[in-house]
Structures are given as C-alpha cells and as structure tokens.
Amino acid sequence: MESARRKAATAAYRETKRQGGIYAVRCAATGEARVGRSGDLAAQRNSLDFQLRHGPNNAAMRAAWAAHGAESFSFEALEAAPDALTPAGRADFLKRRALHWREVLRAAPI
C-alpha cells in the first residue's frame, strides 16, 4: 500500500505546473535589490529561504546577511513567463526580462 501512495505522489508531483519568471531579492536595511530568473519560482523561493537560514552563496548577499540578518531580506516575484512559450523561447524570454528588470530596479544579478 505504501508503494501505491508513493507512486501516486510522484505522479502528482510530475504533473504539477512549474511557473517560471523573474524575481527580486531585496534587503530592507540597505535598500539593495538583486534580480534573477528561474524556471520554477516556488522552488527558487524555497532555495532562497534555505540560503538565508544557512548563509547565501553570493558574497555581497552574504555580507548584507551577516550585517543585517536574514529577516531583512524578502523575495518578490516580478513577472511570470507566458505558458505558451517553447523551452527555447521561455529561456530567451527570461533572459531578456531579467535584464529589463535589472535596469528598472538598478539591481545586480543573482
């Protein structure tokens, strides 16, 4: 019975739609923003939460995290990728829109 539940959970996970898009990580204490792109915004948010608990890999974020703490950081989804794009079109869209948002927010890349 456990095997059947595991197979059902695996199948449900594979069918879950992944929402890709552009996101910003902001430090409230410094006002700095960093912009990135991801094929799965929910997974990216989980990754950021993990990094903030254990110290981010990015040197500049790590310094701000050490000075101001994880609670000063926030995650914000800025723009979702359209569903109708091909994988190559989606990658191109995310790349172009990340550059756009970096210019708009005067943000560094992640």
The three-state DSSP-derived secondary structure of the chain is CHHHHHHHHHHHHHHCCCCCEEEEEEECCCCCEEEEEECCHHHHHHHHHHHHHHCCCCHHHHHHHHHHCHHHEEEEEEEECCCCCCHHHHHHHHHHHHHHHHHHHCCEEC
pTM of the predicted protein model: 0.81
Mean pLDDT by 10 residues, the chain (110 residues): 80 76 94 94 89 78 85 92 91 96 95
- State which fold the 17-109 domain adopts: GIY-YIG endonuclease (3.40.1440)
Q: List phi, psi (to 5°) of 88.
A: -70, -40
Q: Give the model's pLDDT for residue 56.
A: 73
Q: Give the model's pLDDT for residue 79.
A: 96
CB atoms within 10 A of CB 27: 19
Q: Where are the domains of the chain?
A: 17-109
